[in-house]
Amino acid sequence: MNKKNLIIEFSEYNSLTDGVEKSLVLLTKAAEKNLKNSYSPYSQFKVSSAIKLANGNIILGTNQENAAYPSGICAERVAIFSAKSTFPEQDVIEIAIVTEQSNPTPFSPCGACRQVLMEYEMLQKKPIKVILKSGNSKIWVFNSIKDLLPFGFDAVDILKK
């Protein structure tokens, strides 16, 4: 048996005024403003995301629940699917994911959202910066979705013969 270690690197900030890049601050504020559009009558857990594309456009998404669980969809997938449907040739530069609910550390995306974001990062062959904030939590910034899903897979893995 061999034991291995995995080190994940990210930046942690106490607040948005703690030296966070200006573009990330603006993106996070757009996501926070968009929280009001979350449709979460069952969980009461509001999530919003904002994606910045290479052309400068900002695409928003919120979680959308449904009484016929699990027919709802997460904010991250709403935003990324909208971005790639509306601007298919534009790379995703960064995504801010925020929740209304506070926590000492930010809530992170579910596994399905991590895998979907990983797919687009691999497709565009450029990292997607990820910003996480939950209410009055600290802010975490990851340089790539791979930092949140270090053992993710893509079509190359699936299609090997």
| Residues known to be catalytic | 76
Instruction: Give the tokens for residue 109.
Output: 């995306």
DSSP state of 14: S
3-state secondary structure of 7: coil
Distance between CA 31 and CA 47 in Å, rounded?
9
Q: Which of 90, 99, 85 minimizes the C-alpha distance to 132? A: 99
CB 121 within 8 A of CB 128: yes
- State residue 83 phi and psi, 5-degree precision: -60, -45
